[in-house]
């Protein structure tokens, strides 16, 4: 085999190996999230207050007695419904939820939005099942087209609740991460309109 033949074979081998590696790489990252991370030097509650889009969530956390826990517990992740998510609930639902006699239900709903560890943007690949602070009930994240992250309670039937991580944003606070979501989630099959009845 002369030098020219050897060089041609080496180039073909190099190209073949490159194509194989590229295919393997692309199949490994087929469904990764396109998340923008913003860093805050404040805890989760102070960061949420500063964002200006979590007024209802913060009022609910205060009414449930969870604000201090969210501010001081280390390495948690909050899937935080924005004000628009609460506004989309049936009329009167939020007011009913904030009544003292419904505090237990409020704690359960809010706890379902919290995971006891940091979920980082790099973790959002394909489908994740996360165990929440509400009795380890599962919360499901699925990376969809164009890097969007769908979030759902997984309850079968017409009352399955689905949402997305709004604007593909994650806020990294000093004690945990916040994902802005466009839906208030519940861990039950019941629609939110039925929960207070």
Give CA torsion, residues 186, 184, 113, 152, to 10 deg: 70
Q: What is the pLDDT of residue 18?
A: 37
Better-predicted residue by pLDDT, 20 or 191: 191
**pLDDT higher for 193 or 174?**
174
Query: Given pLDDT bands bounded at 50, 70 and 90, which one contains residue 57?
Result: very high
What angle separates helix 55-64 from helix 44-51, to the nearest 10 degrees? 140
123 is written with which tokens?
């973790």
User: Residue ranges per domain, the chain?
Assistant: 1-30, 31-195
Contact 181, 163 (CB under 8 A): yes
Name the E strands within the chain.
36-39, 76-81, 114-115, 127-131, 138-143, 149-152, 162-172, 176-181
Superfamily of domain covering 31-195: FAS1 domain (2.30.180.10)
12-16, 56-60, 95-99 — which one is most confidently predicted on average?
A: 56-60
User: What is the pLDDT averaged over residues 16-44?
Assistant: 56
Stated pTM of the model: 0.77
Percent of the chain past pLDDT 70, that is, above it, reads 70
Q: What is the band of 53 on the pLDDT scale with cuts at 50, 70, 90?
A: very high
Question: Taking phi first (over 0 means left), then psi (-120 to 50 degrees means alpha), and beta for anything else, what does residue 65 get?
Answer: left
Mean pLDDT of all residues in 33-42: 80
């Amino acid at each position: 085999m002369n030098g020219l033949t050897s060089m041609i074979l080496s180039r073909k081998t190099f190209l073949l190996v490159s194509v194989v590696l590229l295919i393997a790489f692309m199949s490994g990252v087929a469904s990764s999230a396109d998340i923008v991370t913003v860093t805050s030097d404040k805890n989760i509650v102070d960061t949420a207050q500063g964002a200006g889009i979590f007024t209802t969530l913060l009022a609910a956390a205060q009414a449930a007695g969870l604000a201090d826990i969210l501010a001081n517990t280390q390495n948690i992740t909050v899937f935080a419904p924005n004000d628009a998510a609460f506004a989309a609930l049936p009329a009167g639902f939020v007011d009913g939820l904030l009544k003292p006699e419904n505090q237990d239900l409020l704690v359960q709903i809010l706890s379902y939005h919290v995971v006891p560890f940091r979920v980082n943007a790099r973790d959002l690949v394909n489908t994740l099942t996360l165990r929440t602070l509400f009795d380890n009930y599962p919360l499901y994240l699925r990376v969809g087209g164009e890097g969007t992250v769908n979030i759902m309670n997984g309850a079968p039937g017409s009352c399955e609740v689905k949402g997305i991580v709004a604007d593909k944003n994650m806020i990294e606070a000093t004690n945990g991460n916040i994902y802005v979501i466009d839906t208030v989630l519940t861990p039950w099959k019941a629609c939110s309109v039925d929960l207070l009845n």
